[in-house]
Chains A and B, each alone.
Chain A
Amino acid sequence: MTEVEGAPLLSLESISRRFGNTVALDSASMLLRSGTVHALLGENGAGKTTLMRIAFGMLKPDGGAIRLRGKPVSFRVPGDALENGIGMVHQHFSLVPTMTVAENVALGWRGAHRSTATRKSRLRSMLFDPASAAARVHEIAQRAGLSIDPHSRVDSLSVAAQQRCEIIKALARDVDILILDEPTAVLAPAESAELLNWVRRRADAGFAVVLISHKLRDALAVADDVTVLRNGSSVYSARATETSERDLLNAMLGATTARTPLLPAVEAVASNVETTLTSRAASNVVPSTPSTVSLSTRSTENHINRRAIITLRNVSLRDARGVERVRGANLTVNAQEIVGIAAVEGAGQRELMRLLARRVVADSGDATINGSVGWIPEDRVREAMLSDSPLFENTALRGASSLHGRVAWNEMRVRTREMIRAFDVRAPSVDTLSRTLSGGNQQKFVLAREFADEPTVVIAENPTRGLDVNSRVAVHGELRKARARNAAIVIYSSDLDELLELCDRVYAMHAGRLTETAFDRAMIGRAMLGVYGAMDGTSST
C-alpha cells in the first residue's frame, strides 16, 4: 500500500452496498489522483462496476463516504455526478442507433446548459440546431483527439466508433473524471491499443481516468495507480510502477487460488500488435489443474497423419439479407486438435461458426463435417438455454428435434444429475431453473450437455466470455479433455490470449476471408484487420 501524496481528486472510503442478501461491496476504498489513470481491477463480480456506479450516482452506497476534492459529496442521480465533473462510459452503450452522433451527444446537453445559460440562450438550447450541434461535437472531438464524424448515424458505426461517441458524450459535459467500464472488452487489439493510448494522453493532459478492467495487461500498460477488488473489498492498491503482475494476480484471486498461467510480458500489449511474442511456448503454459492434458498432446508434428473431421473447400455463405459473410473459405480441422478463429466482431466468424455447427448450410462450395456436433454458442442464455425451465428440461433441449412419443423425463433427470456431478455444476438439484445458476455454472452445464454424447466435432464461440477465472480454467480444461478424446474443436474468441493459450492452430478471419496464420500474436492481430488494411479501427465493421 503506497501513500498517496497531495489531496486526492476523488476518494471513495469504505463503501459498502448490498443487493438483497448479496453483499456486492464491503468496505471498498479507492483514491483517485488528478492527471492519472487509475486501473480498477478484479474478477467478474468483484464489485468494480458497482463501486463506479456509486461514484457516478447511479447507486447509493449503504455505508462509507465519497469525497470530491476533499469535500464530502452525495449524488442522488448521475446528473449530480455529471454536474460535479464525473462522467462514465458503460460497458453496454446507451446510444440511440437511428440518430446521428451529434444528435446523441446533444441529448445530454440540456442539463449542462441550464446552470450557466442566459434566458435567451436557454430558449435557444430548447431548439435543436443540427449544424451547431455537429460543429460543437466536432470541436469536442478535435480537442480530445478522437476521430468521429458527427453526421454519421450511430448504427452505421463500428463498435470502436460508437465507443468514441459515448466518450464524447461524457466529455461534452466537461468532466474531469472519466470512468470507462471494461472499454477494451468490445475492441480488437489495434483498437484497444488506440484507446489505451488515448486514455494515457488524456491523463497526461491533467484529467483523471478510471479504467475498469479484468485484463491485467491493459491495466498495467497505461495505469499510474492500481486498485484491486476481491469479493467487494479493496484488497490491494499500489503505484503501477511498484507492483508486478504476480502481485496483482495474487490479489485478484487470493494468493492460494491463483492458478492461471502467467500472462506474457506486459510490454507486449503496451506496444501491442507491433510487438512480436518471442515464443509460442510463452503463451502456452497450461494451468496445473488435474483436469488438464499433458503438454505432449500439443506437439504439432503428428497432426499430419490424423483424420480430417472438418473440411471446407471454397465455401461461401450469405446471410438473410443476401450479404456474403463467408467468402471462399478453406479450412481443415483434424481429430485431436483445437483450431482457433481470430476475428473482429462482424468479420463473418458468426456465420462461419454456425456453418461449422451445421446450423446453416453453405450457399456454395464443399463443406464436410463428420459426425455429431457439440455447439457452444456465444450467448448461452439466448441461444443455448431455457432460462425459466428446470435443468433436466434443458438437458432434453439437445436433440429435442429428434425426440419421439413420450419423453423419458426420469431418464433425463438421471442424466442431468450425472452431468452436474461430472462437470461440477453448482446447482441445488436437477429441478433448479437454469436462470438461477451463475454464468460460470450455466456455461459448465451447456458444456456438460453438449459433451455428454462425446461429439466428434465441438464448435465454441467465446466459450469463457463473462466468466470468472476459476470457471474459465474449468471450461478450458473441458475443451482440452474433449481434444484428448479425439474431438475436432473449433473455437472463436475475441480474446487473442485465449486462442494462443488453448489452440494448436489459428486462422484469422477478415471481411469473410479465412486465412491460416502463424502462431504469433502480432501476425494474427494484423491478419484480423486484413493484413494491409488501415489500422484506424473504423474499418472493422
Chain B
Amino acid sequence: MRFVASTLFRVLVMAVIAIGVLALLLAVMGYDAPLALKALANGALGSSYAVLSATSVRAIPLAIAGLSVAIAFRAGILNIGAEGQLLTGATAAAAVALAATSSDTALANASLSGVAATITMMLCAGALAGAGWAGIAAFLRQRYGVMEVISTIMLNFLALYLVGYLVRGPLQEPSLINPQSASLPVAYHLPSLVSGTRLHWGAVIAVAMSAAAWWWLRSTASGFRLRVIGENPVAAESAGRINVTRTATGAFLISGAIAGVAGAVEYTGVTYAIYDNFSPGYGYTAIAVALLARLHPIAVLATALLFGALEAGGSAMQRDASVPRVIVSVVEATFILLVLAAERWRAPRLQTHEPPTTPSSGLKPSSTGAPK
C-alpha cells in the first residue's frame, strides 16, 4: 500500500514539474500561459467528451503501440519501428477491407457474424503485416547483425512512402481525386463502446492485449525466456541454454504484430481510411509511453492515457489559445527525463532495502505509471 502511495505521489510531483516547465516555456515565448494551460486541461479532461472522445481515443493506438515497444525492449530489442509496423498494419487492414467490400456484393445485408469475421480478418492482416515489416529488420539482425535501431527507423520511412504510393495507386479511392483509400463502409467500423462518443472497441482490445501480455511475461515459460534474454543474454545462453537468437526473433515478430494491430485498430476504429499522415507519430510517442511505464504492460495503459490527454489537450490549446501543439512534446520529454532521473536517484537505495516483491516482480514494478 505504501508502495502504491509513494508511486502516486511521485507521479504527482512529476506532473507538477512538467506542467511548471510548460508554463515557464509558454510565458517565455509570450503566450498567455494561464489561458493556454486552461485550454490544455479542458481539452484533455474538461468534459466527458474530452475524456471519452479525445483523450481515450488517442490513448488507444498509443497503448497498443506502447505495448509493442515494451515487449521488444523487454527482450533487449530496440525496436523503434513501431511507426512503420503500425502503418503497414493499417495498410494491410485497408487492403483486406477493399477486397472484402468489393467482392461482397451483399454488402448491404452483411450478417453480424460476417462483419465480425471481416473485422477480425482486418485485425489479423494488420498483425501479420506488422510482423512481416518487423520481420525484415529481424532477419537482417539475425542474419547479418544489422542493428535494429538503424533498420527499423529506415523501415519507418519506407512504410511512410509505401503508404504514399499505395494511396495514389492501387489503394486510391474510386474517384481518384484524393490521395487516400476508399472509406471503410460504416458496417465494418469497430463498434462504439459508449454510444454518442467516439470511444470504440479498440479500448477493449488494448486492455485485453495488455492483460494478456502481462500474464504471458509473468507466468509462462516463453515469457520468462523473453525477459531473460533481455536482462542478460549472455547468462541466457550460458546458464539457461536458451537459443537467444531464436527467442529474440520471436519477440521481434510479436512486437511487430502488436504494432500492426495498433494500426489496424486505428483504421477500423477512427480514420476508416489510410492517407499520407495517417499516424501523427503514434509509433514514436509509443516509445515514450513504454519507457514512462518502465516497460510494464499494464502501466502502459496508464501512460498511454497520460500521453493521450496531452495530445488531446495540445490540440485544444492550439485551437483555443493559438499555441502550437508541438509544445506538448516538451511536457512529454520532461516526463521521460524525470523518470530517468528518478531511477538514477532511487538506484543506490535499492541496494539496502528492497520493497517486497511478488512473482511479477521480474516485471519491473511500475512506479511511474499515472493513476488509472
B240 partner residues in chain A, CB cutoff 8 A: 397-401
A397 partner residues in chain B, CB cutoff 8 A: 228, 235-236, 239-240
| Partner pick for B354 among A383, A387, A432, CB 8 A cutoff | A432
> Could you tell me the distance between the alpha carbons of A387 and B220 in the complex, rounded to whole angstroms?
20
| Partner pick for A383 among B224, B238, B358, B359, CB 8 A cutoff | B238
List residues of A (342-396) whose CB comes within 8 Å of B's CBs.
Answer: 359, 375, 377, 382-390, 392-393, 396
Tell me if B173 counts as interface (CB < 8 A to partner A).
Answer: no
B210-241 vs A, Cβ < 8 Å mask (1 yes, 0 no): 00000000011100110110011011111111
Contact A433-B354, Cβ < 8 Å, known A383-B234, A405-B220:
yes
> Could you tell me the distance between the alpha carbons of A404 and B224 in the complex, rounded to whole angstroms?
10
> Could you tell me the distance between the alpha carbons of A409 and B351 in the complex, rounded to whole angstroms?
24
Tell me if B102 counts as interface (CB < 8 A to partner A).
Answer: no
Contact A400-B242, Cβ < 8 Å, known A406-B221, A407-B221, A431-B357:
yes
Main secondary structure on A side of the interface with B: loop
> In the complex, how many residues of chain A place their beta carbon closer than 8 angstroms to a beta carbon of chain B?
33
| Partner pick for B220 among A389, A407, A432, A446, CB 8 A cutoff | A407
Report yes or no: A400 in contact with B354, Cβ–Cβ below 8 A.
no
Report yes or no: B224 in contact with A393, Cβ–Cβ below 8 A.
yes
Nearest A-chain residue to B231, judged by Cβ:
A386
List residues of B (324-372) whose CB comes within 8 Å of A's CBs.
Answer: 348, 350-352, 354, 356-359, 361-362, 364
> Could you tell me the distance between the alpha carbons of A436 and B353 in the complex, rounded to whole angstroms?
9
Report yes or no: B362 in contact with A390, Cβ–Cβ below 8 A.
yes
> Could you tell me the distance between the alpha carbons of A398 and B235 in the complex, rounded to whole angstroms?
10
Report yes or no: B359 in contact with A409, Cβ–Cβ below 8 A.
yes
Nearest A-chain residue to B361, judged by Cβ:
A390
Report yes or no: A393 in contact with B235, Cβ–Cβ below 8 A.
no
A400 partner residues in chain B, CB cutoff 8 A: 221, 224-225, 228, 236, 240-242
> Could you tell me the distance between the alpha carbons of A399 and B225 in the complex, rounded to whole angstroms?
11
A404 partner residues in chain B, CB cutoff 8 A: 221
Report yes or no: B224 in contact with A20, Cβ–Cβ below 8 A.
no
Report yes or no: B220 in contact with A20, Cβ–Cβ below 8 A.
no
> Could you tell me the distance between the alpha carbons of A431 and B356 in the complex, rounded to whole angstroms?
8
> Could you tell me the distance between the alpha carbons of A538 and B250 in the complex, rounded to whole angstroms?
46
A selection of 21 A-B contacts at a CB cut-off of 8 Å is A359-B237, A359-B238, A375-B238, A382-B234, A383-B238, A383-B239, A384-B238, A385-B235, A386-B232, A389-B231, A393-B362, A396-B224, A398-B239, A400-B224, A400-B228, A400-B236, A403-B221, A407-B220, A407-B221, A407-B224, A432-B354
* New A-B contacts (11) at CB < 8 Å, excluding given A390-B361, A401-B225, A403-B225: A359-B237, A383-B234, A384-B235, A385-B232, A385-B239, A390-B357, A393-B362, A398-B240, A400-B224, A407-B221, A431-B354
Chain A residues near B (Cβ < 8 Å): 20-21, 359, 375, 377, 382-390, 392-393, 396-401, 403-407, 409, 431-433, 436, 446
